Structures are given as C-alpha cells and as structure tokens.
Structure 1
C-alpha cells in the first residue's frame, strides 16, 4: 500500500487508521486456562466413552456401560478415552497440526516509513518522506518444502498417537488380567491361612505344653509364616496393579474397580502371523510413523538445499525529498552466497536423514525379531502350561485327600503340611505361567496390524 502525498492529511490518517483497525480485528485474543487439581474421576460411571473414536474394531462395536461393572473391553475403551498419557499425546498432535498450519502461512510483507524535517523552512524546502513495501521472495519459494515437512511431521505424530493407543489397549488388558488373577490368588491365600489355622494352633499348643521342641515344630511354624508372607506379598502386588490400572484409566486413587468377566484371550493364528510378517511396514503404526518422519526430513533437506541459493527481497518505494520532488521506484536485495551458502544446515539435514533411515531399518529388524521370539515363547509357554496344569491338578487332589486323612487321624501333620505346601506352590506357578502366556499373546497381537483399519483411524483425526 502506497499513500499518495497529495492526499489531505486527514485522509491519509483515516486510511492508516482503517488499515490498523482491520489488522487488529484479525488478531487473536488471550484467554486464561487455569491449572486443574489432578484429582481424576471418582468413578468410571462419571465418564463417557464414544465407541466411534476407538482405534480397533472390537472396541468400536462394543457398548460402554459401567453400571454393571467393567469388563476387559470396557476397561480398554476407558483407557483409550481417558488415559492421561494419551491426552498429552493428543495435545502434541494439536501442536503438530498448529505447526503445519503455521508452515503454510504466507510471510507478511514489510512496510517501512520515514520522514525528514528541514531545520530551515525557507528557500522552498518542504518535508520529505519515504514509504516502502517489501516482501521476502525466498520465504515464498521455501514455503512448499516447509509445508510438506510440517504436514509429514503432523502425520507422524498422528500415527505415533495411534500406536500409543494400541499399546494402551494392550496395557489395559494386561492389567485387567493381572488384577483379576491377583484378586483370585488373594482369596486362595486367605483360604490357605484358614486351612492352616487348626494345624498351627495344634503345633503351638503342643509346643507350649512341652510335647514338641522347636526343631520338631519348625515345619508347622514355617508353614503358617510362609502362607502369611505369600498373602502379604500378593496384597502388595495387588495394590500396585490396582493403582497402575486406576492411573491408566484416569481414575482417582480411591475410585472403585468393579471388574467383571473373563480376562482377554487371544491366540493369533498362523495366517495372521504370515500376513503380518510379509506386509509389516504397512501394518504397524509406529513403522508408518517413522516413514512419515522420514518424508518430513526429505522435505526439510530439500528446503535446506533450496536455501543455498541467494535470498531475494523485492520491494516498492515512494519518496519525496526536501525540494518537493516525488519519486516512485523499487528495490531488490540479494544475499551473496560467498561463504555460508547454507552448507552447515545441508550437512546437518543430510546426517539427520541418514540417522532416520538407520533408525527405521533397526526398528523393522527388531519388530520382526520380536514377533518371531513371541511366537516361540507362546509355543514353549503352552507346553509348560499344559504340563503344569496336570501337575497342579494332581497335587490339588493329593491335598484334598491329605486334608481328609489328617482330620481322620490317619496322617501326621508334617506330611500333611508338606503336601499342602507343594500344592500351593504348584498353583502359584500355574498362575505365573498363565500371566506370562497372556502377556506374550497380547504383546504379539499388538504387533499385528490391520492395514485398512490403521489408515481409516489415522484419517479420522
């Protein structure tokens, strides 16, 4: 915009005021955002979960209704919708999209104005001024590469968020299984203490009466102490698992966890594994995110190469000197590429691209190795679980028979306690094997991607 000096002063002032008002109307305004108290929801019933926003089909078709308790699918849905860590990643996605928006904006032109006032107003001298409007042409030329890089970075953050949601679902399923198993085991350990109480009381009475010495009574004393220790350790583990699950769900530390139903069961078949290994880069959101990050770096490198050429600034000027001569003209500024030539930035971006390429190759290799290892682990754990189940069943039957024989006076208490201890250890080992197998199966399923659904969910955001 160039104002004609022949315009009356009030007209020029009016035009400038109008232009300034227009610019101010387009400006953003500040709104405060107070910090929260970080209390979390008092119960799951206070929260709503939109099924349409779920990142996997089995969650997107499930109705969320915590009134009758939370099953394993509802726990996973609540984790996706209300996890504090996922909220932070969604905020990061908002930042990345804002950066992509900023990268696509055209650079603002620069308006310059200056005035000279002669000391002596005589001799026909008048006030002088100069007015100029300029634009950085180089910024316009680099806009395309900046925009492509920012869009690819936003896509990378979006896919990283999808991958984090997958991991959150797996973590929710594992914690659900862990809490349920620990609760069931706590019931069994409490029952074990109750079953050992008569024996412990008899041993204590015989010890006090002098019918037993401490060496002979040690087996009985240790049995109850071991049961108490197992129950205490299990209670501590249960408290930790429940705390982890509440935190994952964004619930208050005292919020009830009414878990219902069976844990999540999954057995990836050979066809799924074959398809995943054959088409892995199109299935895993984290690999797709690394591909997007690589595209962003390619665009950044292209921009650095373009920036080695001379920077150009073009402007229009209008001026009047003190002798009242008015001139119109233009200005061109060019950076002479003699020393820098953006060689440093080009070297940095080239090295960064190589690092991203090596990172992607390493992640892809590690992913294939992890999947093969988990398949082998599942096969081993299946064999162990089958054998341990048969072993635990035999010891459970022996424990039942031993308890009846001891009550009938047909079995001495040291032998009875040894049988009970062996049965309890077998049951505990079986629980540990089941959890290990569940962890491996859920982890393997998390590595299996659904190409069409990945892209569908990524495009929704």
Structure 2
C-alpha cells in the first residue's frame, strides 16, 4: 500500500485555496488535509488476458509435493521422463487443473471479503462554511465542523467478522473437496484412457486377424463359389469390428481430451501413460472406521458445517440489528458574529414498523435449510456407500467368472485359428468362435473399468482416507 508521500496522494491532499480566516477557522482545511494525508492510495496495474493455450508438453508442468493435500501424493516421486503413472497424473492435476485455479481464485475473493469485514467503519467528517453577503463590523465567515460514527456498525462488527471467517473457511473446504474430486477424476480418466487403448489394440488385432477371412470370402464371391446370402455372416463380422473400432476411437478421443484439459495441457501435447489403473481393497473394519470419522474428515461435510456456523452468525447479526440504529457525533461551529459553539448529535431509528423482522425470518429459514441439507448429505453418503459396496461385490464375482470364461474362449480361439489355417474348420464356425471370444474380452475390460470406477467413487465418498489400502489391478485380457 503506497504511503501518502506518493505524488498522486500528495496532489490529492493539497487544498486548492487557503482558508478564509485564521485561528479556529483554519481547522476544517487542516482536518481535511490531515485525513487525506493519513489515508493510503491504491494503485492500478493492468493485467492482460492470457491466450489459454495450455502447456506444450508434460515437461512444462510442475507439481510441488509440499502443496499436495494428501500424504499419499506428497510422498510420491514425480518423474515425467519415464511416463506418467496414475499417482503422477493426480499430482499434476492438483497443481495445474484450470478448474482448480478458479476455485483458488474464489478462495482469494473470500479471504478479501473476510479482511473487509474486519475493518472498522470510517467516521463521517462534515464541513460547512457560510460567507456573509454583506460586509460589516463584527461579521466573519461562519463554519461548522462535525465528526460522527455509526455505533450500530460497531456493535455488529463481531458478527460480520464471524460470518466472513466462516464463509472463508467454507470456501477453503470447498476447494479441498474439489481437489479430492479432481484426484478421483484424474484416476478415472487415467483408467478410461488405458482401458480404451487396450480395447483399441484388441480390436486392431482382431481386424488384422479377420483380414485373411475377408479376402477368402471376397475371392469366393468373385469366383461365384459363394452367394451374398451365405457370405453375410463373414461380411458382417468385419463390419462389426470396424464399427467397434470407430466407436472406441471416438470414446478414446473424448477421454484423452478430458485428461488433457484436466492437466492443463495443450490438445496436441503428447501424453504417455504407464503403469496400471488405481484400485482399492478396503477391509470392513477400515470402512466402518472411515464412516464413523466421516463428518470430521470429509471436506464437503466440513464445508457444510462452516456454512452452518456462518448462518448462525448471520442470524445473530440480524437479531442484533433489530435494535434501533444509533449514530453519535460531535461538532464545533462559529457563526457570522464570531460566536463559537460546541455540541453533539444523536441519530436513532424508531423501531415502529420494520424492526428487522423480515431479515430475521429469512435467516431462520435459511438456517433450517442448511441443517436439513447437512442431514440429507450424511444420509445420502451412507446409502451410496452401501450401494457401492454391493456393486463392488457383484462386479468382483462377475469378473472372476469372466476371467475363467475368457480363458476358455481364448483356448478355443487359438485352436480354431490353427484348425482353420489347416482347412480343418469352415470359416463361419471360425468367425463365430472368434466373435464370442472378442465379446468376452471386451466384456472383461468393461467390467474391470466399471469395478475401478466404483472403487474410486467409494474412496472419494469416504474422503480419500489413508485407512483405505490401495493396490493396482493387473491386466487380465490376453491379446487374441
């Protein structure tokens, strides 16, 4: 904050004309000059808009471990040169996500509002001068000088500060919750990109494997040894794989684009992902303890508690504001006959009609709404947790069954391929076996991704607690 010695401040504090008379009559100008000299002057600096291009490469991104809100991230070594694993993606998301930057800007606004709420109200200085229209003996310039303060603003200052502090705490906790959700989103996108890439490789391999069958069918059609009715199964098999490839590519483009945006990367920046998706395996005891500690740990619930405390302070302030508004001031004056006088003034609002009853009713209703919102959030969390646990149990059983089914169909596919190459198996049967094996492979990948999604959602629901044991899930689909 610049001092009053700043050139612009000095110019503003300089009176434009000298006082009319000496002595006490010079007090008004001196008081104004002193008030302006004591006040600081803010300066303006332009801040041009950016171009929003994003980082050109992962190497340009930074993620200080000291700023990580979770111990599991703060202790992980970041090294983008060998590719990004799921934890490194989460770290870079926290440090570079554009959405989180907006949340941090909102925290800056809330902090500024808390600072403003703690400032004392400025006193009101009034100054007036009267000039005689006729000159004569004993006549002089009259003046009045007054200083007043809003007492009501002083009485409600503590409530305003409590409201602002609670609001700043709520914004800070909302930011922390947004960071936790961003970590979950980073893990989900990491898993989606890896899963879609695996499906893409699987479909590319299948398309290459079907190429000789397609060539055989085309040659048979040209030679007249096969009709289009009988060749429809073969033609549809190739078309189906081609369509799946296109659909999968579009989904991969979307997931890859979302991950680039989350990391603050330019759309064309290369993104090398390594490792395996994030998985968790919490024990029943860990889940029970996490659920007990939930209201004291999860940021969104803590933010609701801070919002409720803020509303309590608003209600107290509204109750205090029902009392008459009071303003007290003191003044000194001199009339044109050079008679000096000192006095005071008191302003009070008569509480006849309003008495702030409307605002009190609004704050009471808002408090009840926040109370019910908090209870509903807790109940919803408990219900969601039970649902996710049931889903994970179902998906695990389905995954176990699919692993065995995929292994059997994989053996059948290899045997069928060898038999077809030796002309021991007709191509419709061969295509049917390959189609069944491909569907089972894709189903297993889908179940694995769905299981990872539900597990990450469960951990986010429980507040990313360190009590949850995390371990990677190995890839289980073999290349056909």
Instruction: Answer whether TM exceeds 0.5 for this pair.
Output: yes
Which residue matches 1:19? 35
**Structure 1 residues 318, 12: CA separation in 2 closer, same or farther (over 3 Å shift)?**
closer
Aligned residue in 2 for 1:399 = 413
Q: Distance in 2 between matches of 1:201 and 1:115?
A: 105
Alignment of 1:152-231 (within 5 A): 152-231=166-245
SS in 2 for 1:416: helix
Report the more deviating stretch, 112-121 or 142-151: 112-121
- Superposed counterparts of 1:267-416, under 5 Å: 267-416=281-430
SS at match of 2:344: strand
SS of the equivalent of 1:344 reads: helix
What whole-Å deviation, never above 9, does each CA across 1:97-142 have from its counterpart, x for those lacking one? Answer: 1111111000000100001112112142221110000000000000
Does 2:162 align with 1:148?
A: yes
Question: What is the distance in 2 between the residues matched to 1:43 and 1:263?
Answer: 22
Q: 1:348 to 1:14 in 2, by over 3 A?
A: closer
Equivalent runs, 1:109-120 vs 2, <5 Å? 109-120=123-134
Partner of 1:459: none
Q: What is the Cα deviation at residue 6 of structure 1? A: 5.5
1:427 equivalent among 436, 441, 462: 441
Residues 63 and 36 of structure 1: is their aligned pair in 2 closer, same or farther, counting only changes over 3 Å?
same
CA contact (8 A) 2:206 2:241 kept: yes
* Per-residue CA distance 1:24-63 (angstroms, 9 max, x = gap): xx12111111111111111110121101111111101012
Task: Name the CA distance, whole Å, in 1 between partners of 2:352 and 2:22.
Answer: 44
Distance 1:365 1:321, change over 3 A: same
Could you tell me which of 242, 252, 262 is aligned with 1:238?
252
Partner of 2:141: 127
Are 1:310 and 1:334, in contact at CA under 8 Å, matched by a contact in 2?
Answer: yes
1:447 is aligned, of 441, 449, 461, to 461
Superposed CA deviations along residues 333-358 of structure 1, whole A, max 9, x for unmatched, are 11111111111111111111111111
Secondary structure, aligned partner of 1:41: coil
Quick one: distance in 1 between partners of 2:96 and 2:283?
31
Find the counterpart in structure 1 of residue 70 from structure 2. 56
Residues of 1 paired with 2:153 and 2:342: CA distance?
25
Name the CA distance, whole Å, in 2 between partners of 1:99 and 1:13: 34
Cα-Cα RMSD: 1.7
d(CA) in 1 for partners of 2:466, 2:214: 62
Length-normalised TM-score, structure 2: 0.91
Shift of 1:277: 2.0
Structure 1 pair 410–154 and aligned structure 2 pair: CA distance change class (3 A): same
Mapped contact 1:268–1:441 kept (Cα < 8 A) = no
Q: Which moved more, 1:330-339 or 1:263-272?
A: 263-272
Cross-structure match for 2:88: 74
1:176-202 alpha-carbon deviations (Å, 9 max, x no partner): 111111111111111111100000000
User: How many residues end up aligned between the 2 structures?
Assistant: 448
Cα distance in 2, alignment partners of residues 11 and 354 from structure 1: 54
> What whole-Å deviation, never above 9, does each CA across 1:9-38 have from its counterpart, x for those lacking one?
778755643432332xx1211111111111
In 2: Cα distance, 1:127 partner to 1:14 partner: 16
CA contact (8 A) 1:89 1:161 kept: yes
CA distance in 2: counterparts of 1:12 and 1:391, whole angstroms? 94
SS at match of 1:327: strand
CA contact (8 A) 2:295 2:301 kept: yes
Q: Give structure 1 stretches of 5+ with no counterpart.
A: 454-461
Native 8 Å contact 1:137 1:312 kept in 2: yes
**Does residue 45 of structure 1 match 2:59?**
yes
Q: Tell me the SS of whatever aligns to 1:275.
A: helix
